[in-house]
Amino acid sequence: MKYILASASLRRIKLLKQIGISFKSIPSAINEKYVFRKLAYLCDYNKIAKNIALAKALDVAKKFDTGIIIGVDTIVVLKGKILGKPKSFKDAVSILGKLSGKIHKVITGFAIVDAKTGRKLIDSVATLVTFKELGKQEIIDYVKTKEPMDKAGAYGIQGKGAVFVKKINGCYFNVVGLPLAKLTEDLNKFVQ
């Protein structure tokens, strides 16, 4: 079975390698912000994440005659608002300030598409993450590491941002960007 990850995310690549899946990484050309704007009316964050993941998978599937394409999108939600990737140093500081001492939700939508048959499976996983209270200097020092700049919610649980996480309820790997247990369960439906 030929697997293709519709992403260049180093975190997702590392996670798939960790579980022994052999795959190619072919990033999607989908403009996430454009797709998000089209879907924002849904107000259903699971549907938004799943639809963006599907758009990515379908975009890459067009380039292949065979193969199982995996599209993924992760969003962070706090008090009904999506916290995307920070646009600047100041934005990262602001996002982390909002997360300080609060519980937020990390939702990863993923879509699996068989390029040959067009068969699709779309799913999502949500994890609740509780942050400790963060000091202003602690936030600034973390943002200076540049770790938060390419991550939804402006932190990496698998990196230095781990020290902010007081508790999680759900899949840890989902917060990193790929819910491995649910993904492999769904991938198995394509090899039966």
Look at residue 137 and tell me whether its pLDDT is greater than 90: yes
Tens digit of pLDDT for each residue in 142-174? 999 999 998 999 999 999 999 999 999 999 999
**Cα–Cα distance for residue pair 119/16, rounded to 1 Å:** 21
pLDDT, residue 141, reads 97
Catalytic residues: 73
34 has pLDDT over 60: no
For every residue of the chain, DSSP letters joined together read: --EEES---HHHHHHHHHTT--EEE------HHHHHHHHGGG--HHHHHHHHHHHHHHHHHTT-SS-EEEEEEEEEEETTEEE---SSHHHHHHHHHHHTT-EEEEEEEEEEEETTT--EEEEEEEEEEEEPP--HHHHHHHHHTTGGGGSGGG--TTTGGGGGEEEEES-HHHHHT--HHHHHHHHHHHH-
pTM for the whole thing?
0.90
DSSP string, 130-153: EEPP--HHHHHHHHHTTGGGGSGG
- DSSP codes, 43-68: --HHHHHHHHHHHHHHHHHTT-SS-E
Tell which phi-psi region holds residue 154, choosing left (phi > 0), alpha (psi between -120 and 50) or beta: left
Write down the pLDDT at residue 35. 59
Instruction: Give residue-wise pLDDT tens across range 83-115.
Output: 989 999 999 999 999 999 999 999 999 999 999
Q: Using 50, 70 and 90 to split pLDDT, how confident is the model at 176?
A: very high
Indicate whether 122 pLDDT > 90.
Answer: yes
Alpha-carbon span 104 to 167, nearest angstrom: 11
- Determine the Cα–Cα distance for residues 129 and 148; give it in Å rounded to an integer: 16
